[in-house]
Structure 1
Amino acid sequence: MQRKIRIEPIFAKSLFKTTCDNVVTLIQSVLQQGTVVNVSSILLVGGFAECKMVQNALKTAFPTINIILQDDSGVIVLKGAVLFGYKSDIISSRISRYTYGVSCYVPFDKRFHEQKRKIAMKGESYCIKIFDPFMWINTSIQVGHTIIKKEYSTDNKTGCMCRVYITNKDNVMYTDTGECTLLGEFRFSIKNPCREEKELKVTFNFGDTEFSMTVLDLESKCEKKEFFEIQR
């Protein structure tokens, strides 16, 4: 005898509620951030867009916005990927989903910095693990966009270790409070090591699906480039 399981419609629909709510919340947050204005239509793409419960949830949440579903919504994403592979410049800009920054140290200021982070170097007091952003969340990034950061210094006589972090939080001060995620590390070694710190110029390039970080030793003109994946 073949066994069957029967599920009540109400229970089956409840399985999708959390997902639908998350989709609605994400769209609401984008609309409220002010990066887009006068939105009259929302185009649904991907196989999940064909789900009636997703469609109904969006129509209920955004009654004044036209919800559009294409007949081939399940393959639109694939078509876009193929088109991008043949003609990458079809996308002229992207919106940064996170704030990107590096970990650094700055002169210690008791008015703002935690005492436990205070260290002494060369007779001066510094605060460590400061989050220093170079790209902010919701920023429109044009293809080929380059940011030249202020000059840094080597943290020892042989070079430096640069750690790149991302966060979706506002006003993050430190990199080790759980508000940041380590994206990657960049180790730069200098030629002709000496006791004195050397000045470094760092260039960030957000030109494609990844961004590059180039460190230049201003004295020796030696440079190194590292690539990091842009998070979405």
Structure 2
Amino acid sequence: MEASPILIAIDFGTAFSSYCISVNSGHDTSKKTERYETETVILFNENQEFEKFGVEALTAYTKMTSSEASRYYFFQNFKMELYNQKITENLMISTMDSKQLPALKVFSESLRYLKDHALKALSETVAESLVLPQDVTWVLTVPAIWDNAAKDFMRQAAQKAGLIQDILSENLILALEPEAASVWCKQLPTSGFIEEQAGILDKSTVQQQAGVQYVVVDCGGGTVDITVHEVLDDGSLKELQKASGGGWGGFSVDSKFTAFLRQIFGPVLWEIYKNEHPAELQKMMHTFSIQKCTEKEDIYIECPHNLAKLAAKNKDISSYFSQLEGACWTDGNIKISYEKLASFFTESIKNILEKIKEILDTPEISIDFILLVGGYASSSLLREAVKREFGSRYKILCPYESQLAVAKGAVIFGTDSKIIHSRVSALTYGINMSRKYDPLLHDPKKRRVNKAGDYTYCTGLFLNLVSKGQSVEHDEDAQYTFFPVDDDQTEAGFRFFSTEKLNAIYIDEPGLKEIGSFVLPMPDIRLGTNREIHLKIKFGLTEIKANAIDTSSGEVQKIKLKFMSE
């Protein structure tokens, strides 16, 4: 599909969300481009209706009294609800004070706000007339380590938000976050990185270096997403390993801080405060999130009024700190030493370094440098740790405005998705099939006979379409031909499965998960069992895409694989 000349890339992040608008069909996004960034927080009123998003939601909520805040629904860090857990269409997510709303509503209203904001900005600045959602190619970023159900959920949220009308619309492209960042950074000159080292690159940009292999570490607020790329002769990128990473982003540091506060004031008092004064707590956490990236200095967090009031009921507030290392009470402020602050980063950084080391130790790859991107990469503690651990053997690069690298790269990716030449399959995928029964090979319990009695077959066999770890090119089709087992068969049903196994024999083996199904009509029965069904599936894209053709009737069906359960 040829992309629209108007392209809007939305980087929907855990901590911050941004978008880039491009009305330029080329790769140069410096012209006719609008950018916007705000916090990923959303506010609903007591009737569960959308109120505000971003910094406006944060400001409104933190100004509320505790009684006002108790009636509102304020969500932050909710993107993490889609990571590493079972996702259903009816998934509910919770606010800090344990109120719940449907996840699809929270995500879709967030995307609706970003869509409307972007279209308004586009109409006011570079467009000559009102721009409608269907006039735009939308690029929505997702973590590479998300499973297919999470990607499916985001496509449904985008449809509900009005970005697209048809769930299978090609006007919506999902871009993997570290891929987008990689695409952006590989075309940057050496001056585009925070610390330019002598001899970083032999030429002016990474893009010109065929054969260069590098690790992309996308450090976001929620997840750290890691991929390994090689630059090919034509400038496109080849993924060398399947994406890896974990929930070690910037919010894991915030969690250590809240655990420390819980330790200071005790679990009972802390739970009371968290549930009764969520807006006030949110304000304190926002202050911490700004100060945590300080340059080797102690930080001072003003103790919120209601927390101090609750604590003072039990004992003098300074006594909470008397036996505590790394923090003290100073004129209404909680002073945290830089050493203690650094300890909040320890576990996150340890996990990141271990994962990078695991990749670097892989014998079949030869890395030239490590690329750090994402908002969390702005932390000097993280950058220095990576440099200290790997800087003697590898070049460590971090672009300026590292938090915008994903959104900027998503614009380029949306213009030319073929820039990622190939990807590595995270799982083994296959479908159910039947084959002529062989008593030496097949389970007798799966033996079947067709209606005419002239064909004995084994049912429930697993046909491997692509294996875990297999490299698949972006335009590569897995193509298969099937025949009906009965002369008068008027439809053919297919079921799709995934597994961590490299292969399987039967679809009911342990470890196989059904991920989707579809039925293809076969109304023309004149050729009996000599009718062909052609199935084509693409595994090298950011989403699995498939279609089936009944050659007798010409019936073509674009397949929507359903990864979420009811």
State the TM-score, normalizing by the size of structure 2: 0.34
Structure 1 or 2: more helix by fraction:
2
Opposite residue 183 of structure 1, the aligned amino acid is: I
- What are the superposed Cα offsets for residues 176-202 of structure 1, whole Å, 9 maximum, x if unpaired? 334233332121011134794333122
TM-aligned CA deviation for residue 103 of structure 1: 1.5
Correspondent of 1:45 among 364, 369, 373? 373
Measure, in 2, the Cα distance between the counterparts of 1:209 and 1:20.
Answer: 24
Q: In the alignment, is the contact (CA less than 8 A) between 1:20 and 1:53 conserved in 2?
A: no
Measure, in 1, the Cα distance between the counterparts of 2:457 and 2:470.
Answer: 31
TM-aligned CA deviation for residue 67 of structure 1: 3.5
Measure, in 1, the Cα distance between the counterparts of 2:432 and 2:532.
Answer: 17
Measure, in 1, the Cα distance between the counterparts of 2:388 and 2:562.
Answer: 34
Match of 2:504 in 1: 172
Measure, in 1, the Cα distance between the counterparts of 2:398 and 2:373.
Answer: 7
Q: In the alignment, is the contact (CA less than 8 A) between 1:24 and 1:61 conserved in 2?
A: no
Which consecutive residues of structure 2, in runs of 5 or more, have no partner in the other structure? 1-304, 312-319, 327-339
Measure, in 1, the Cα distance between the counterparts of 2:520 and 2:439.
Answer: 31
Which consecutive residues of structure 1, in runs of 5 or more, have no partner in the other structure? none
TM-aligned CA deviation for residue 80 of structure 1: 1.2
Aligned pairs for 1:99-110 (under 5 A) are 99-109=428-438
CA 1:19/1:148 → structure 2, altered by over 3 Å: closer, same or farther?
A: same
Find out whether 1:152 has 2:482 as its counterpart: yes
Q: Give the secondary structure class of the aligned counterpart of 2:352.
A: helix
TM-aligned CA deviation for residue 44 of structure 1: 1.9
CA 1:171/1:62 → structure 2, altered by over 3 Å: closer, same or farther?
A: farther
- What are the superposed Cα offsets for residues 90-131 of structure 1, whole Å, 9 maximum, x if unpaired? 33333332332211123344555445x422213555433322
Measure, in 2, the Cα distance between the counterparts of 1:18 and 1:155.
Answer: 56
Q: Which stretch of the first structure deviates more once superposed, 95-104 or 65-74?
A: 65-74
Q: Which stretch of the first structure deviates more once superposed, 54-63 or 200-209?
A: 54-63
Q: Give the secondary structure class of the aligned counterpart of 1:141.
A: strand
Q: In the alignment, is the contact (CA less than 8 A) between 1:210 and 1:229 conserved in 2?
A: no
Measure, in 1, the Cα distance between the counterparts of 2:551 and 2:428.
Answer: 27
CA 1:23/1:128 → structure 2, altered by over 3 Å: closer, same or farther?
A: farther
Identical-pair percentage: 23
Find out whether 1:23 has 2:23 as its counterpart: no
- What are the superposed Cα offsets for residues 8-52 of structure 1, whole Å, 9 maximum, x if unpaired? 6497356537843773477369x45x4xx3212121222234453
Match of 2:547 in 1: 214
Measure, in 2, the Cα distance between the counterparts of 1:65 and 1:140.
Answer: 26
Q: In the alignment, is the contact (CA less than 8 A) between 2:520 and 2:557 conserved in 1?
A: yes
Measure, in 2, the Cα distance between the counterparts of 1:7 and 1:130.
Answer: 62
CA 1:207/1:129 → structure 2, altered by over 3 Å: closer, same or farther?
A: same
TM-aligned CA deviation for residue 78 of structure 1: 1.7
* Larger-Rg structure: 2
Match of 1:204 in 2: 537
Match of 2:197 in 1: none
Q: Which stretch of the first structure deviates more once superposed, 221-230 or 178-187?
A: 221-230
Measure, in 2, the Cα distance between the counterparts of 1:111 and 1:61.
Answer: 55
Find out whether 1:138 has 2:469 as its counterpart: yes
Q: Which stretch of the first structure deviates more once superposed, 74-83 or 198-207?
A: 198-207
State the TM-score, normalizing by the size of structure 1: 0.72
Structure 1 or 2: more strand by fraction:
1
CA 1:25/1:40 → structure 2, altered by over 3 Å: closer, same or farther?
A: closer
Q: In the alignment, is the contact (CA less than 8 A) between 1:119 and 1:127 conserved in 2?
A: yes
Q: Which stretch of the first structure deviates more once superposed, 10-19 or 210-219?
A: 10-19
Q: Which stretch of the first structure deviates more once superposed, 1-10 or 41-50?
A: 1-10
CA 1:92/1:171 → structure 2, altered by over 3 Å: closer, same or farther?
A: closer
Q: Give the secondary structure class of the aligned counterpart of 2:554.
A: coil
Measure, in 1, the Cα distance between the counterparts of 2:411 and 2:497.
Answer: 31
Q: CA RMSD in A?
A: 3.9
